[in-house]
Amino acid sequence: MKFNSELSKIITPVVVDNSHYFVNALFQKKFGSPPPKGGNHLIGFYKNEQGHYLPVTYICLTPYKGAMLVGGAMTDGTVIKQMTEEQKTIISETGGIYLNLLKYAFKHFSNQCDAFFGYVNDKRALEVDLAAGFKETNYQYLVVNFHKSISPWKKRRLFKIINKLGPF
């Protein structure tokens, strides 16, 4: 799976089975709970000057009734602060780590679902989600990326099912 070539000099995307080992403290800090146990965990790792790989951005992608729920996204600002100005410039010029990880996720998991859904009530996160390929819906906070052609009936069914979940 291809990742943005300029950004790949700084960030390595990795899908892991158990994100707890990598993002527990940050997830606790941001959401007040441990990261989800189920689902697919996509982490962008940054290799610092000491050669250590640090998790900098995280996304959880959970399969649900033919859809993939995208949630728990976060970026660790303390890791960003460790980067050089040149690295920060590359990240900025490529649209950011989260944007590129979302695009990567859409390609990597495209054969595992009919659509990607996100639940977002943060203005900045919504901007990034839309730039990555999500579209706003008629449902408050719900965004979708229908990356393949599916019937109108199936779309309506997915909207109804996913909207009933509330925040995820």
Buried b (16+ CB within 10 A) or exposed e, 124-135: eebebbeebbbe
Q: What is the pTM of this model?
A: 0.93
pLDDT score of 1: 58
Task: Enumerate residues 6+ apart whose C-beta is below 8 A from 98.
Answer: 57, 59, 73, 75, 125, 128
**Residue 26 CA, distance from chain mean position:** 15
Q: What is the pLDDT along the chain (168 residues), one digit of tens a residue?
A: 567 778 998 999 999 988 999 999 999 988 999 999 889 999 999 999 999 999 999 999 999 999 999 999 999 999 999 999 999 999 999 999 999 999 999 999 999 999 999 999 999 999 999 999 999 999 999 999 999 999 999 999 999 999 999 898
H helices of the chain, where?
20-31, 77-82, 85-93, 97-108, 123-132, 152-165
pLDDT score of 3: 76
Domains and CATH numbers, the chain: 7-165 (3.40.630.30)
Q: Is the dihedral of CA 87, 92, 98, 100 positive or negative?
A: negative
Closest by Cα among 64, 71, 66 to 42: 71
